[in-house]
Structure 1
Amino acid sequence: MIFRAIGLAACLASLPVFALAQAPRSAGFEPRVWALTNARVVVHPELELPSATVLIRDGLIAAVEANLAPPPDAEVIDLAGHVIYPGFIDAATQAPLDPQKAPAIDAGRALETSRYALAGTPSDNRKGLTPEFSIRNNLRAEPGLWEARRQSGFTTLHVIPQGRLASGAGLLITTSGLPLREAVLREETYPEFQLLPLGQSGYPNTLMGGITHLRQALLDARRWHQHQQLFREKAPGVPRPAEDPVLESLARTLVGQPPSLFVAQSSDEIHRALDFAAEHQLPPIILGGSEAWRTIARLKAESRGLITLVNWGDEPRVEPEPANGPLNPRAKPPRRAQQRLLDRWSAQVSNLKVLHEAGLKFSVGTDGLGEPGHVFRSLRQAIQKGLPPNAALDALTR
């Protein structure tokens, strides 16, 4: 399927732009082969073909060449004066998740604290731990959700769970609207962690408690994995270990050591996430990173890159302070406070330029934006702060 998209190139150059998305398989006498001719094709930010043909067969790109002759069975569309570029990838969004299907946390065994003294945290305390959560079974069934993103140029979404110490792994899916068996590109991407206080009654409800709780869960998962190995090897005196989806999921992460997402915005959160990842030998990808510009050296040395969120909103206005008069509950903050907000906003928008100049890999997610198309407004603001347009396109397409 070929669809009109309000792409970055259109935002910058006011050109009509087309992007490509996975299409349903055709049946009967509907066209199955398309040849888009005479278009300027941006294969990737470092390779641009001034006039080329894109051949699409069964919804998939079959060839991109400057002098490609359309095959006889192709439906030819002349796109002279138009631009074709890769479909955008939303690197981080929660929008497709159904909030009514939040994962249930196993309460564990009942504790008789009036009868037994506890020397430590019960081994099956699962507060904030849902690493086994499956996104595939918890997506919203709303066709308009995919259409809105497709019309904004997004052909692929990286759906991520958030809000827990260990929330589960992400899922990569196209916006084609096809059945899940065809639309899902990757069932599990990266496990996602966040060092945060849970804000609930009982342990852990502080930041230190949350970090300790997650650390203990990872240590338990490592021990559980060793227990499983000994039982499979029929080591004498080793009982059958309990089935535990939480520890099994965490153990897969510890053993396989895939890149892991760590939600971190401020510089303190980023340092904390890098320390925790190093402790457990997890290759970190920072999700958020609004103050990444403060931690460039460590990020270059220790991270696998960033998924940046561009939900910083409009530029704050600095207005003059009103003359002395009666108290007004709706009065603006003092000018210096307004200026601090503006400085913070400017630093966050300039963050992408700093990341690019430092050679750090980053992609862009729309999480926190009201509409997916608002990402282009945010990227225009970043470009005004010095981010090269090609770097912005690269962040959207790789």
Structure 2
Amino acid sequence: MQKFTRLLVVILLYLFIVTNYAYAERPRIYALTNAKIVVAPGKVINKGTIILRDGLIEAVGENIPIPPDAVEIDANGKVIYPGLIDISATLMGARRGGRDTSATPPASPLQQFLQSQQTEAQVGAVHSLNRVRPENRTSEQLSQFDQDNKDVEGFRNLGITTVLVTPTTGIFRGESVLINLRNSTSVPNLILKDSVAQHIALEFSGRNYPSSLFGAMAAFRQVLLDASQYQTWQERYKNNPTGMKRPEYSPAFEALTPVLKGSRPVVFELNNNQDILLADRLAREFNLNAIIFNSGNEWELLDEIKPLNRTFILSTSFPAKPKIETEDEAVGVSLRELRRYVNAPENAKRVYDAGIRFALTTRNLRNKADLSKNIRKMLEAGLPLDVALAAFTTTPAEILGVSNSLGTLEKGKIANLFVTNGELFAEKTKVERVFVDGYDYKIEDKKPMLPEGIEPKENE
């Protein structure tokens, strides 16, 4: 009897494990029906269905049969859009990577020296300038996301499903990473593309070199000249190492090799219009594939920047209203400051009219909830709605080289989309639910909504 009982327990335990494993592995299948579907900017299905299966778009169109295993969501009266892509973002809520040394006693001077020699032997010496860290990879600095990360939730509430996370300090700042914004305990599950671009700023301070703009330009040139020479010697050694001393390995110059070859774009992050022309001059000097992210006053310099044939990243942030309520306050406000405040909403329209390709970003927005309000001001200033949508979908997808998987709602692409109760950016329109990698997030919820009885796989 005891043997029979034990056998029964083993069988039941086995069935329990197998059943739960099957549920965990079961694909996420949804059918959103009767919705207005914006497949891409300018391409609309007035009443259609979109099928999502295991994180991908399986079908989209009119009169599509509903799979029997799908969870059907009636989206009558709703509008479905491709997930928005923010091409320049920082996630302050992400935990930073790095070794925890809080419990490690300080090393002696001799130990520190030996450790430094061992590190250099393994990975090469870093550049002597602290502001030159092109080897920094943002993907390695984002060790783990908090499930309740407010930045991630804030982006999703706007319909933003994908962001390019960028480094923030230095001249050569390092490499950005493109991630999907779903809750996960494992950062690798979020990464769509690593080492997307090298980010550069003509940064300087009065204390350390470089201490001026011209010093920053000189440092920029010297670093790329050294990297070019490094590349030459590495290729010579690779082709014929016999009798040749092995060149010293440099992680900084190694990271700049694809930049010099033109296979990895650089993003110049600038603070004023005149720096645009300087950045373009530097980029042409080294044949760099350059993208410009400036302060938002490109309209002042359109005649000069149009012939550059560069792609721009435009902020949706506007300057604060100048205080001119009293005579004393008005005296302290320049005409240029007033013009920039008045013309800020027209910037994107003027850039568009000039035929310059651009993407939009929430970067520098003091409150990301102001995105729709600021976009409405752009639309009122004459920017076409389809152009505004493209600047957050198809254009960044093209710039980032991910058009085959993001930017539109087409069969086979990643199931990143969001559902609204009206036309995008309209005053009363709200984002009601967001799908990221096929995981369903209702805006009031923090965790993905799955069919009853199904749980996300462990470490997803």
TM class by shorter chain equals 0.7 to 0.9
Q: 1:293 aligns with which of 278, 288, 299?
A: 299
Shift of residue 97, structure 1, vs aligned partner: 7.3
Give, in whole Å, the separation in 2 of the partners of 1:268 and 1:303: 16
Task: Give the alignment's Cα RMSD to 1 decimal.
Answer: 2.7
Q: Is the 8 A contact 2:94 2:146 kept in 1?
A: no
Shift of residue 352, structure 1, vs aligned partner: 0.5
**What corresponds to 2:35 in structure 1?**
39
Gaps of 5+ in 2: 1-20, 100-112, 114-125, 395-460
Is residue 141 of structure 1 aligned with residue 148 of structure 2? no
Change (3 A) 1:32 1:227: same
Change (3 A) 1:227 1:394: same
Give, in whole Å, the separation in 2 of the partners of 1:191 and 1:97: 23
**What corresponds to 2:134 in structure 1?**
131
**What corresponds to 2:191 in structure 1?**
184
Shift of residue 211, structure 1, vs aligned partner: 0.9
**What corresponds to 1:368 in structure 2?**
364
Give, in whole Å, the separation in 2 of the partners of 1:97 and 1:158: 15
Is residue 302 of structure 1 aligned with residue 300 of structure 2? no
Change (3 A) 1:158 1:368: same
User: Identity of paired residues, percent?
Assistant: 30
Give, in whole Å, the separation in 1 of the partners of 2:244 and 2:93: 41
Is residue 221 of structure 1 aligned with residue 227 of structure 2? yes
How many pairs were matched up? 345
Change (3 A) 1:136 1:100: closer
SS in 2 for 1:295: helix
SS in 2 for 1:195: coil
Shift of residue 296, structure 1, vs aligned partner: 3.0
SS in 2 for 1:238: coil
Which stretch has the larger CA shift, 55-64 or 137-146? 137-146
Greater RCO structure (CA 8 Å; 6+ sep): 2
Is residue 197 of structure 1 aligned with residue 204 of structure 2? yes
SS in 1 for 2:392: helix
**What corresponds to 1:71 in structure 2?**
67
* Corresponding letter in the other structure for 1:46: G
SS in 2 for 1:348: helix
Give, in whole Å, the separation in 2 of the partners of 1:339 and 1:199: 29
Is residue 383 of structure 1 aligned with residue 379 of structure 2? yes
Change (3 A) 1:31 1:242: closer
* Corresponding letter in the other structure for 1:222: S
Give, in whole Å, the separation in 2 of the partners of 1:124 and 1:173: 28
Shift of residue 174, structure 1, vs aligned partner: 0.4
Listed as ranges, the matches of 1:1-398 within 5 Å are 27-28=23-24, 32-96=28-92, 124-139=127-142, 141-143=145-147, 144=149, 145-178=151-184, 179-201=186-208, 203-234=209-240, 238-316=244-322, 318-321=324-327, 332-335=328-331, 337=333, 340-398=336-394
Gaps of 5+ in 1: 1-24, 104-109, 111-122, 322-331
Which stretch has the larger CA shift, 261-270 or 152-161? 261-270
Give, in whole Å, the separation in 2 of the partners of 1:131 and 1:124: 9
- What is the TM-score of this pair, normalised by structure 2? 0.69
Give, in whole Å, the separation in 1 of the partners of 2:300 and 2:22: 51
Shift of residue 273, structure 1, vs aligned partner: 0.6
Shift of residue 30, structure 1, vs aligned partner: 7.1
Q: Is the 8 A contact 1:284 1:302 kept in 2?
A: no
Q: Is the 8 A contact 1:274 1:303 kept in 2?
A: no
- What is the TM-score of this pair, normalised by structure 1? 0.79
SS in 2 for 1:227: helix
Give, in whole Å, the separation in 1 of the partners of 2:368 and 2:355: 27
Change (3 A) 1:339 1:293: closer
Change (3 A) 1:299 1:339: closer
Change (3 A) 1:315 1:30: farther
Change (3 A) 1:265 1:371: same
SS in 1 for 2:51: strand
Shift of residue 306, structure 1, vs aligned partner: 1.0
Change (3 A) 1:141 1:48: same
Shift of residue 129, structure 1, vs aligned partner: 0.5
Query: Which stretches of structure 1, 4 residues or more, deviate above 6 A after TM superposition?
Result: none
**What corresponds to 2:399 in structure 1?**
none
* Corresponding letter in the other structure for 1:189: V
